[in-house]
């Protein structure tokens, strides 16, 4: 199996029809010939076997049951190759080293593991991380303030106030990320965000706002961040981005104007770059996003291969 981007390699059967069944939605499956595997998560970090090639850690049998009992929430993720997968949130503990975890394991941020951990495993970890984060952030009802409880295998939370009884569901925030080309096509627009470390340049990006289409979001974000007006906004691809709960929607757009004005201060700098200039930047991993990691780099590389 080949993948276009990191975190898109998951091929788990999410089996939504099983989320209502207690044997599946509780702590593990009691069905025959199905192994329950638990992914421990602590404050948005995933448990991995430390080393030059870190590996995702799944706990089974007694170790799995023990960590499940210690967790504040267990989420049924789905089925894969005869195993039922669950994410277990352990964020209530200040010191995770006191938990009954295998030796040689550590909790790591998935972003720091990018391109070093298996693609398929990274997809599972990202899926579990996103749901665990959502549960931690929605322990109380947004309508009445009463506590909420997990339901449907952890894919829903229900308000405990009978007068309210609202059902809350995980949300994914759409964000557009776009490669803008010069009117004559021989340059692309790259920016350096104030949140980036060092001199790293990337494509422009931003969240979709209420009441606008994806294409409108592309035009607005480019204009706000760089002052450049665009047209011909065309969807290219998407990438899961569970940091904490987004999906990156990749676009290409053609500039109508070329003058750059970063007056909203989201970008420290933006500039038009030729293909030769971008290739020179790509030779330095500290300037362009790393390969096999983000849709940003894929958008850039796709454009480079056209000329």
191 and 126 co-located in one domain = no
- Is residue 242 in some structural domain? yes
Cβ contacts of 42 within 8 Å, gap of 6 or more: 89, 90, 91, 93, 96, 107
Contact 124, 85 (CB under 8 A): yes
Residues 294 and 238 grouped into a single domain: yes
DSSP string of 63-111, one letter each residue:
HHHHHHHH-SEEEEEEEETTEEEEEEE-TT-S-GGGS---TTEEEE-GG
Residues 119 and 183 in one domain: no
**Domain membership flag for residue 106:** yes
Residues 199 and 126 in one domain: no
In a domain, 272, yes or no: yes
Q: What is the CA radius of gyration of the chain?
A: 22
In this structure, the answer to whether residues 24 and 121 fall within a common structural domain is yes
Residues 195 and 88 in one domain: no
Q: Which pLDDT band holds residue 1 (cuts at 50, 70, 90)?
A: very low
Do 124 and 178 fall within a single domain?
A: no
Give the CATH number for residue 92. Answer: 3.90.79
In the chain, at which residue ranges do the beta strands (DSSP E only) sit? 35-42, 45-49, 55-56, 73-80, 83-89, 105-108, 148-151, 156-159, 167-168, 173-181, 187-193, 204-207, 230-241, 246-255, 267-274
In a domain, 227, yes or no: yes
Q: For residue 120, what are the contacts with CB-CB under 8 A and spacing of at least 6?
A: 1, 9, 10, 11
Identify the band that residue 200 occupies on the pLDDT scale cut at 50, 70 and 90.
confident
Distance (Å, rounded) from C-alpha 197 to C-alpha 95? Answer: 29
Residues 224 and 125 in one domain: no
Contact 26, 153 (CB under 8 A): no
pLDDT of res. 31: 60
Q: pLDDT tens, 202-261?
A: 999 999 999 999 999 999 999 999 999 999 999 999 999 888 889 999 999 999 999 999
Q: Are residues 223 and 110 in the same domain?
A: no
Q: What is the pLDDT of residue 237?
A: 94
* Residues 6+ away with beta carbon under 8 Å from 144: 159, 161, 163, 164, 166
Tens digit of each residue's pLDDT (9 = 90 or more) over 114-126: 778 888 888 899 9
| Across 103-130, average pLDDT | 87
Q: How many domains does the chain have?
A: 2
Give the CATH number of the domain where residue 225 resides.
3.90.79.10
The closest alpha carbon to 278, from 262, 254, 300, 294, belongs to 300
> Given 112, 137, 162, which residue is the final one in a domain?
137
Whether 151 is in a domain gets the answer no
Tell me what percent of the residues of the chain surpass a pLDDT of 70: 94
Statement to judge: residues 181 and 261 lie in one domain = yes
Per-residue pLDDT tens digits for 18-30: 888 877 766 555 5
Tens of pLDDT, residues 45-68: 999 998 888 899 999 988 988 998
- Domain-embedded: residue 239: yes
Asked whether residue 148 is assigned to any structural domain, the reply reads no
Spatial CA neighbour of 40 closest among 115, 97, 111: 97
* Residue 98, phi then psi, degrees to nearest 5: -85, -5
Residue 183 structural domain: 173-304
Query: Does the pLDDT value for residue 9 go beyond 90?
Result: no
Q: Are residues 132 and 34 in the same domain?
A: yes
Cα distances from 160 to residues 92, 140, 205, in angstroms, run: 21, 9, 38
The pTM of the full predicted model, rounded to 2 decimals, is: 0.88
Residue at 3 is within a domain:
no
Q: Which residues contact 90 (CB under 8 A, 6 or more apart)?
A: 40, 41, 42, 67, 70, 71, 72, 96, 99
């Amino acid at each position: 199996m080949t993948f276009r981007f990191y975190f898109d390699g998951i091929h788990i059967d999410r089996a939504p029809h099983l989320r209502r069944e207690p044997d599946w939605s509780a702590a593990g499956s009691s069905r025959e010939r199905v192994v329950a595997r638990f992914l421990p998560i602590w404050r948005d970090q995933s448990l991995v076997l430390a080393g030059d090639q870190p590996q995702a850690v799944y706990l089974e049998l007694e170790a799995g049951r023990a960590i499940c009992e210690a967790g504040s929430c267990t989420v049924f993720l789905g089925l894969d190759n005869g195993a039922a997968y669950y994410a277990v949130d352990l964020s209530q503990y200040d010191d995770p080293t006191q938990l009954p975890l295998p030796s040689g394991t550590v909790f790591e941020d998935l972003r720091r593991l990018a391109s070093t951990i298996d693609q398929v495993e990274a997809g599972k970890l990202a899926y579990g991380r996103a749901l665990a984060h959502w549960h931690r952030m929605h322990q109380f009802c947004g309508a009445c303030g009463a506590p909420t409880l997990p339901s449907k295998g952890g894919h829903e939370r229900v308000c405990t106030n009978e007068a309210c009884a609202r059902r809350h569901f995980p949300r994914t925030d759409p964000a557009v990320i776009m490669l803008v080309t010069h009117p004559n096509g021989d340059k692309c627009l790259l920016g350096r965000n104030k949140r980036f470390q060092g001199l790293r340049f990337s494509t422009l990006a931003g969240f979709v706002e209420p009441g606008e289409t994806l294409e409108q979001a592309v035009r607005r974000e480019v204009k706000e961040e760089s002052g450049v007006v665009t047209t011909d906004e065309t969807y290219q691809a998407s990438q899961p981005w569970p940091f904490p709960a987004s999906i990156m929607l990749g676009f290409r757009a053609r500039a109508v104007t070329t003058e750059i004005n970063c007056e909203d201060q989201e970008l420290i700098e933006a500039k038009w770059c030729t293909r030769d200039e971008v290739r020179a930047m790509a030779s330095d991993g500290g300037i362009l996003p790393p390969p096999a990691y983000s849709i940003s780099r894929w958008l850039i590389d796709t454009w480079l291969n056209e000329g």
